[in-house]
Amino acid sequence: MSNRMFCFQCQETSKNNGCTIQGVCGKTAEVAQLQDLLIYLLKGIAFWGTRAKNLDVVHTDTNLFVAEALFATITNANFDADRFIKLIKEAVDRRETLRDAAQARCQELHGEPCPGNGPDWASWKPESYDSDTMLTKAATVGVMADEDLDEDIRSLRELITYGLKGMAAYTDHAYVLGEEDPEILAFMQEMLETTTNDELTAEDLTAMVLKTGEMGLRAMALLDKANTETYGHPEPTQVYLGVKPGPGILVSGHDLLDLEELLEQTQGSGVNIYTHGEMLPAHAYPQFKKYDHFVGNYGGSWWQQREEFKHFGGPILMTTNCIVRPKESYKDRIFTTGMAGYPGCPHIPDREPGQQKDFSEIIQIARQSPEPDLLEDKSITTGFAHHTVLQHAQAVIDAVQSGTIKRFVVMGGCDGRQKSRQYYTDVAQALPEDTIILTAGCAKYRYNKLNLGSINGFPRVLDAGQCNDSYSLIRTAQALAEAFHLEDVNDLPISYDIAWYEQKAVIVLLALLHLGIRKIRLGPTLPAFLSPNVTEVLVKYFDLKPIGEVEEDVEAMMMGM
């Protein structure tokens, strides 16, 4: 059993090269290897799934399973080795069922079985599902397993894979709310199959990267529809950051249905519900405002949770990523659900058809918990998604035409631990007072509590919501281009200064590249999984650039450079 790993899928990967002993995120070599094996087997499902689809054999549950399993492998979502072994077993079982169905259909159509069982990822079955067996196999299928693979091919394959992981997260959220698009699920399998095709050139794979961005945009639109049709369009909302009398439950992550069901189950219980991190924008949805015990947001960005959670007092529910290794001071009261997981932390099972998840255990603990310690006593504003901004489109246009607003700067994306991310705070403070910051995702915690003022009643930080609400920023840009009668969105007074951390940010980047957005600054580092040649292509055709010095970048952005 090896204690070695290789992972470079997130921004904080060791030395911007790759984690080889343990992930900077905290995942062990064992979990990293099991994730590699799971991805390998998902490619086996894709092998049979793409062929079965051509035979009119579609296993909808298995298609959704691929998305869920991809979601489980994104950074800071699931650290539980046992859960991954279960997912690996389910992947093999589903693959075998799908293969049998495809071969039966083939025989029905042609009168004889289709030859062969496919490549190793489409046929390998373990003798047992013990950890040693899994890890022995995993050591042969990781990112760097083929040392002779061309580095540009590897880079593009991983770029597609990480984009699919982000797409899977958004798609799964939409499916949870009942919004479906089978073509997105089919596309994930087509692209997984693409990453195994040795006949494809770097040029072929580059085209597939942009195609992934196109389908990623479709997935984001699907989730936007699911959220807004279920909970209403977000509206500008002041969110309290202090505490209210009584015990509470803290909800982190991104899953709005988990939050809704918890709110329903705690009505009249005397337990307050607080959001944390990426769940902050939930306060802007009209449907959630009917709950009097939905009282505010506690704490800041995901990476600060180890200091903030110990002060909360009550239980904490992690609905998705981002989980940081919990301290003993609160480990006994942190719960996971959905695709999230952490060893030693209780996991709330998925809901049965037609029923809610059972949050009774976490509610019982909350009733016996002290009220949270006060961290800060102020409010911040969220809820400036595309519907709200476009309702005021004429006012925005007038402000731009009069020169009251000189420029918009998109500073969405992810936050992280590295000190270099102070850059985004410094940029926000250095931008001229006639600029508006458009943001979505946890990157906003670098500047959303600053007193940056307003322009014509608009806060200078317009928070559209979660990272998946980056679609709002795209829709806003497209609508403004239409309003100004511009054929090219790059002609708008908008600059892009994006922070990234994990794979949901990757699919947002690919969506922007698909739309032809140029001059994107990306930081605090460019992805380690981009080879020099792939980076050169992105620079040449899209003018993708690393962040630089604050003063120079601000000056360049104000000049549209």
Q: Is the pLDDT of residue 468 over 90?
A: no
How does pLDDT run across 326-381, given as a tens digit for each residue?
A: 999 999 999 999 999 999 999 999 999 999 999 999 999 999 999 999 999 999 99
How does pLDDT run across 173-227, given as a tens digit for each residue?
A: 999 999 999 999 999 999 999 999 999 999 999 999 999 999 999 999 999 999 9
pTM beyond 0.85: the answer is: yes
Residue 244's alpha-carbon distances to 240, 241, 249, 316, in angstroms, are 10, 10, 12, 17
Contact 528, 18 (CB under 8 A): yes
Instruction: Give dist(CA 22, CA 24) in Å, integer.
Output: 6
**Percent of the chain topping pLDDT 70:** 99
Least confident segment among 48-57, 102-111, 293-302: 102-111
- CATH for 394-558 is 3.40.50.2030
Of 357, 232, 356, the C-alpha closest to 289 is 232
The mean per-residue pLDDT over the stretch 75-104 comes to 96
Burial class (CB in 10 A: 0-12, 13-18, 19+), 178: exposed
3-state DSSP call for residue 297?
A: strand
Of 304, 306, 252, the C-alpha closest to 281 is 252
Write out the residue limits of the CATH 3.40.50.2030 domain(s) in the chain: 237-367, 394-558
How does pLDDT run across 445-455, given as a tens digit for each residue?
A: 999 999 999 99
**Percent of the chain topping pLDDT 90:** 93
Beta bridge partners of 19: 7
Contact 169, 69 (CB under 8 A): no
Q: Given 1.20.1270.20, 3.30.1490.100, 1.10.3720.10, 2.60.40.420, which CATH number is that of 14-229? A: 1.20.1270.20
What the block records as the tokens of 105 is 């259909």
Q: Is the pLDDT of residue 48 over 60?
A: yes
What the block records as the tokens of 316 is 């904490």
Q: Is the pLDDT of residue 1 over 70?
A: no
Instruction: Give dist(CA 107, CA 314) in Å, integer.
Output: 59
Of 450, 457, 463, the C-alpha closest to 399 is 457
- Hey, how many other C-beta atoms are within 10 angstroms of the C-beta on 350? 12
Instruction: Give dist(CA 88, CA 98) in Å, integer.
Output: 15
In angstroms, how far is the first alpha carbon of the chain from the final one? Answer: 51
Instruction: Give dist(CA 257, CA 173) in Å, integer.
Output: 9
DSSP string, 342-406: -TTS-EEPPPPTTS----HHHHHHHHTSPPPPP----EEEE---HHHHHHTHHHHHHHHHHTSS-
Q: Is the pLDDT of residue 2 over 70?
A: no
Least confident segment among 99-103, 107-111, 313-317: 107-111
Does the domain at residues 237-367 carry the CATH identifier 3.40.50.2030? yes
Instruction: Give dist(CA 549, CA 561) in Å, integer.
Output: 14
Contact 405, 375 (CB under 8 A): no
Taking each helix axis from N to C end, the angle separating 60-72 and 29-54, rounded to the nearest 10 degrees, works out to 160
